Structures are given as C-alpha cells and as structure tokens.
Copies of this chain bind each other. A is one copy, B any other.
Amino acid sequence: MGKIFVNVGMSLDGYIAPEGMTLEHWDDPDYKNWAAKWGALMGWAIKLQYLRENLKLGPGGETGPVNDMIKSTTERIGANIMGMRMFEAGERSWPEDAPFHTPVYVLTHEKREPWIRPGGTTFYFVNDGIASALEQARLSAGERDIRISGGADVIQQYLDIGLVDELEISLAPVMFGGGRRLFENIGEAVPAYKIDRVLDTPSATHLRYVRA
C-alpha cells in the first residue's frame, strides 16, 4: 500500500501561507504583501527545471539534487487530496493541463461533476469527508503514494487522526508574522516521526520525516 505524505514549504515561523493569500485578494498581490512573501518562501522551487516544465513557466532552470528531489516526489504520487480553497486558488493559476497528472480529490460541500483536464489530471469533488476521500484516493493510487496537498486545515485533519506517514517540509529562512500555520489543532494521535533526510541548500532546508 502506498504512503500518505505531506510536502510543503514552510516559513521559519511555521506558516505555509502568508496572511492575505486568499482567493479574495488573489488579484491584489500587494495586499499585506502576500505575493512577495509567498515568492520568498517558494522562490527556490520556481527556479527548478522540473517545476518550470511542469508549470509551463518556460524552458531552462536549475538541475541538481533539489530538482531530482522534486521530480521523484512528484512522480511517486498516485493521487492528490486537497481542500476547496486550494482548489479554487489553483483553478485560477494552474495551466490548462493542471500540474498533477493524477486524480485529485477535492474536499468540499459543493456537489460537482468530475472536472477532467488535459494531461491526466481529473478533479473529483468529495462531499462525504476526509476518510472517504482517502479511500477513493487509495483505490486510484494503487501501490503509489498519496499526497495530502493542502491547505493547512486539510493537512491538519489528516495529521490529527494519525494518518500521515511522511512529512516533507522545505523550511525557508523567511518570517511571515502571520498566516496559516502548518501545525495547529493537532491532538495526541499524531505518530512519532524520525528524521529521514536533510537536504541543505542556501535558500531552504529540505527536511524529510517518516514514522519512527
């Protein structure tokens, strides 16, 4: 059975999204300076050859161990799970062939038909909770892994019931001072983790934790 994992960028002070980075302010990047903050968090990623290709940002880009890491992380995914807010933001930002190339299970209260994108991404809208989304993702993924893509509240729900096998955090030396924290509302059911790998680069420390 595949692993369930999280892979996010996190600010030094623990946020995965700055204050103001919401659908409401998507077209107002100066609002609380959210776009610059997000850029400071994820700048290392959009320079990578693999992500540039995947997000249709253009040719070229950095190769090397971080690029290899992102490529192998992306390629091991058999299904994604995400929250509705993340989907709605992505709906505005992703290229037509959305950068997942797997089934994506979107947790929502909205009833909506599957949305098929070119390139292998189909969004399924799940109305009956996180356990159901996981079950459907498992059926799709087979032996491959499932990424809990975000946002923070969705990650926290899976963490809180002890279902996250692996945590991959790219810790960037930026301070947000506010926003959505990765770790919040988490009880005692969280499994113990151990450090599996640290990839040390000038722009982020790529930390990988697996169940102890």
Q: Please give the residue numbers on chain A whose beta carbons come within 8 Å of chain B beta carbons, in ascending order.
A: 12-14, 167, 171, 173-175, 177, 181-183, 186-188, 190, 192-195, 198, 200, 202-205, 207, 209, 212
Contacts and interface: CB of A to CB of B under 8 A. Distances in A.
Nearest to A190: B175
B202 A195 contact: yes
A152 to B, nearest CB: 12
A200 B202 contact: no
20 contacts: A12-B167, A12-B183, A13-B182, A13-B186, A14-B14, A171-B207, A173-B192, A173-B193, A173-B194, A173-B212, A174-B193, A175-B183, A175-B186, A175-B192, A177-B186, A195-B203, A195-B205, A198-B198, A200-B200, A205-B207
A36 B177 CA distance: 30
Nearest to A15: B183
Given A183-B13, A183-B14, A198-B198, A190 B207 contact: no
Given A14-B14, A14-B181, 17 more contacts: A12-B193, A13-B183, A14-B183, A171-B207, A173-B193, A173-B194, A173-B195, A173-B209, A173-B212, A174-B192, A177-B188, A194-B202, A195-B204, A195-B205, A198-B198, A198-B200, A200-B200
